[in-house]
């Protein structure tokens, strides 16, 4: 029995270690998501949940960049989501010509991300003069400001909310944006820049003394994180076809925080798992009514006691790590062995 398991394990590692594993998984996923939406292979309700999962994965992995990898504590992620949601919605409803919204949707999503990134830059410049607890307060305040700002903007419906969007967010689109976001964030984390981000979490002063330009790194990480929150907001708005300021309050930010810490800080796989479990569990527990809002936090408390770093905390699946990192290390070893053998 154990030998069977062992060889199965080896087989699995061989499959996941293959260069073509991730690309084929992504292509298969995309084809499936397209087919599922086109030919109704999946129940519309299940499709809806899957889309929420995707959007939440984008939110969680982008927040993880700040809270997990960089070790700062931002609690205003829903504020950036709101910026993206409103920007994209205004574009598709009021700016883009009626017949072309379907084609221009990706542009609207991108614009949502970009405007959100810009706002992120404006928030980051003063925020990162503070650290730790103070940064949390600044981002909290930002979230509140965004919410009240939209509530008082009659042009976008104020507290009544904004509607009129077509249902442009489909399963293939969510799949596309989720894969793109996760891919970009992962590559960023495993780059030289990403190493700088990690070093800030570990010891900011030492990081400065190792020639890392910590001011730039923090700014860029925050802008990238806001960008993806904006993307998620844009997708969210065109899935629900209705948004109001209360959807993007502190509670929404807290939900995202829970996904990050449930899945595990400093792990992209963790964010994917955390977002998925959080979203699906809330749906499964729906029959319990209000009690699910008691059960969910309770589960979180239990998790924090037994696994304080979350499900994946600081770890990553091997097949998630960029291939060139592997290859570089392997190449280096082989060279070293050859040199040792010759000498």
Partner 1 sequence: MSRTDVLLRVDDLTVSYGNIRALKGISFDVRDGEIVTLIGANGAGKSSALRAVSGLIPFSGRILYGDRDLSRIPPDGIVRLGIAQVPEGRGIFGNLTVFENLRLATWQRKNKAEVAKDFERVFGLFPRLNERKDQMGGTLSGGEQQMLAVGRALMSRGQMMLLDEPSMGLAPVLVRDIFHTLAEINQAGTTILLVEQNAYMALHIASRGCVLETGSIVLSGTGRELLGNPRIKEAYLGG
Binding site for partner 1 (CB under 8 A): 192, 195-196, 198-199, 201-203, 205-215, 266, 314
Cβ of residue 127: shortest distance to partner 1, in angstroms?
Answer: 18
Place of tokens 């062992």: 6
DSSP β-bridge partners for residue 242 = 163
Closest CA to 259 of 56, 67, 76: 56
Q: Which is nearer to partner 1, 18 or 213 (CB)?
A: 213
Q: Which is nearer to partner 1, 78 or 198 (CB)?
A: 198
Cβ of residue 214: shortest distance to partner 1, in angstroms?
Answer: 7
Contact (Cβ atoms closer than 8 angstroms) between residue 257 and residue 67: yes
Size of the chain in residues? 343
Cβ of residue 212: shortest distance to partner 1, in angstroms?
Answer: 5
Closest CA to 58 of 266, 268, 264, 218: 268
CA–CA dist 97, 104 (Å, integer): 9
Cβ of residue 188: shortest distance to partner 1, in angstroms?
Answer: 15
Q: Which is nearer to partner 1, 19 or 216 (CB)?
A: 216
Cβ of residue 193: shortest distance to partner 1, in angstroms?
Answer: 9
Going along 136-189, which residue ranges are E strands?
A: 162-163
Q: Which is nearer to partner 1, 131 or 201 (CB)?
A: 201
Cβ of residue 275: shortest distance to partner 1, in angstroms?
Answer: 23
Going from the C-alpha of 171 to that of each of 181, 191, 234, 267, 282, the distances in angstroms are 15, 30, 14, 25, 20
Q: Which is nearer to partner 1, 11 or 126 (CB)?
A: 126
Cβ of residue 68: shortest distance to partner 1, in angstroms?
Answer: 11
CA–CA dist 16, 289 (Å, integer): 40
Helix H, strand E, coil C: the string for 11-54 is: HHHHHHHCCCHHHHHHHHHHHHHHHHHHCCCCCHHHHHHHHHHH
Cα angle value 183/189/190 (rounded, 5°)? 90
Q: Which is nearer to partner 1, 210 or 284 (CB)?
A: 210
Q: Which is nearer to partner 1, 115 or 212 (CB)?
A: 212
């Amino acid at each position: 029995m154990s030998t069977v398991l062992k060889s199965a394990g080896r087989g699995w590692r061989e499959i996941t270690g293959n260069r073509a594993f991730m690309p084929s998984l992504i292509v298969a996923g995309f084809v499936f998501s397209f087919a599922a939406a086109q030919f109704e292979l999946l129940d519309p309700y299940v499709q809806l949940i899957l889309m929420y999962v995707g959007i939440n994965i984008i939110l969680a992995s982008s927040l993880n960049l700040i809270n997990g990898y960089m070790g700062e504590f931002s609690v205003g992620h829903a504020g950036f989501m709101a910026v993206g949601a409103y920007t994209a919605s205004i574009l598709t409803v009021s700016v883009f010509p009626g017949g072309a919204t379907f084609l221009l949707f990706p542009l609207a999503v991108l614009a949502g991300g970009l405007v959100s990134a810009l706002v992120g830059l404006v928030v980051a410049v003063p925020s990162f003069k503070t650290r730790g607890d103070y940064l949390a307060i600044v981002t909290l305040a930002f979230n509140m400001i965004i919410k009240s700002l939209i509530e008082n903007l009659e042009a976008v419906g104020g507290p009544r909310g904004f509607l009129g969007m077509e249902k442009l967010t489909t399963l293939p689109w969510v799949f596309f944006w989720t894969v793109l976001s996760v891919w970009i964030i992962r590559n960023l984390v495993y780059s030289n820049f990403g190493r700088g981000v990690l070093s800030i979490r570990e010891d900011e002063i030492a990081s400065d003394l190792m020639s890392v330009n910590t001011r730039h790194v923090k700014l860029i990480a925050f802008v990238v994180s806001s960008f993806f929150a904006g993307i998620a907001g844009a997708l969210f708005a065109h899935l629900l076809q209705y948004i109001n300021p209360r959807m993007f309050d502190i509670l929404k930010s807290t939900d995202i925080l829970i996904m990050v810490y449930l899945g595990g800080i400093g792990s992209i796989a963790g964010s994917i798992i955390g977002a998925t479990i959080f979203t699906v569990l809330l749906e499964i527990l729906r029959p319990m009514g209000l009690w699910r809002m008691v059960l969910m936090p309770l589960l979180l408390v239990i998790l924090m006691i037994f696994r304080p770093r979350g499900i994946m905390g600081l770890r990553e699946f091997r097949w998630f790590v960029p291939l060139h990192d592997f290859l570089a290390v392997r190449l280096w070893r082989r060279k070293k062995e050859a040199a040792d053998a010759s000498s």
